[in-house]
């Protein structure tokens, strides 16, 4: 995409706003938008906390239903070792949130080889969605309506989306993530909760709107 943008800038003499690290000199772009954990700096660089996405507090509020206590576990594609520890995670959820209904939501990246293990260990869950055979994907509905959102730390996108809410967000499987992912977790540490330490007030991340306003000012 960076190469295509450069072509059109030469052809049309337009501004080139590049999203994500292009892997070359940042000065070649009018505006470069990169995650903070990529550690790229410059007068034309906008650093974001996490990823850009179209989920916002406002959009989720439209589908909020205020159900009785609900907790969701959102799975990306963590290391195989994480799935060997699911019993421990299940015990933690039961210990701290036994008064909540639990819903499990996988993603396209959640390995199918672990599906049966997930279903077996969380057999007491109110619902489990791991693929289209389980019906409509409840992901956005869960973000809107779960007062506790547990997300595997391998997915920067899903953590970023979860943090657009005012709900408590807990990142699990952190010992399996890369240094880059760890930098991201550190950058939103104050926004994250722990099983035994829930935040009383959670300010939603509004990254896309903030970036939009900064780009407009810069160009």
Per residue in 135-157, pLDDT (tens digit) is 999 999 999 999 999 999 999 99
Model-level pTM? Answer: 0.89
Where does the pLDDT of residue 50 fall: very low under 50, low under 70, confident under 90, or very high at 90 and above? confident
Percent of the chain with pLDDT over 70: 100
DSSP string covering 85-110: THHHHHHHHHHH-TTSEEEEE--TTS
The tokens of 106 are what? 């996988």
Where does the pLDDT of residue 128 fall: very low under 50, low under 70, confident under 90, or very high at 90 and above? very high
Summarize pLDDT for 79-109 with one digit per residue, the tens: 999 999 999 999 999 999 999 999 999 999 9
Where does the pLDDT of residue 68 fall: very low under 50, low under 70, confident under 90, or very high at 90 and above? confident
CB < 8 Å & 24+ apart, contacts of 52-55: 52/19, 52/207, 52/208, 52/211, 53/157, 53/160, 53/161, 53/208, 54/208, 55/140, 55/143, 55/161, 55/164
Instruction: Provide the residue ranges of all domains of the chain, joining segments of one domain with +.
Output: 2-48, 57-191
Alpha carbons within 13 A on the beta-carbon side of 210:
14
Query: Superfamily for 57-191?
Result: Glycogen Phosphorylase B; (3.40.50.2000)
Give the burial class of 153: count Cβ atoms within 10 A of its Cβ; 0-12 exposed, 13-18 middle, 19 or more buried.
buried
């Amino acid at each position: 995409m960076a190469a295509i943008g450069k072509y059109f800038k030469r052809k049309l003499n337009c501004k080139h706003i590049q999203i994500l690290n292009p892997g070359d000199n940042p000065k070649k772009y009018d505006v470069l938008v990169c995650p903070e954990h990529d550690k790229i700096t410059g007068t034309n660089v906008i650093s974001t906390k996490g990823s850009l996405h179209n989920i916002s507090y406002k959009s989720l509020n439209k589908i909020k239903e205020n159900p009785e206590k609900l907790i969701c576990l959102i799975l990306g594609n963590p290391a195989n070792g994480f799935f060997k520890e699911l019993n421990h995670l299940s015990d933690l959820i039961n210990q701290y949130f036994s008064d909540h209904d639990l819903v499990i939501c996988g993603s396209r990246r959640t390995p199918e080889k672990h599906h049966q293990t997930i279903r077996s260990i969380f057999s007491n869950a109110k619902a489990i969605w791991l693929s289209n055979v389980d019906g409509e994907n409840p992901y956005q509905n869960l973000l809107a309506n779960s007062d506790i959102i547990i997300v595997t730390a391998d997915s920067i996108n899903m953590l970023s989306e979860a943090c657009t809410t005012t709900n408590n967000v807990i990142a699990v499987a952190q010992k399996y993530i890369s240094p880059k992912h760890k930098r991201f977790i550190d950058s939103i540490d104050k926004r994250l909760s722990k099983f035994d330490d829930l935040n009383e007030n959670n300010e939603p991340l509004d990254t896309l709107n903030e970036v939009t306003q900064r780009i407009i000012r810069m160009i």
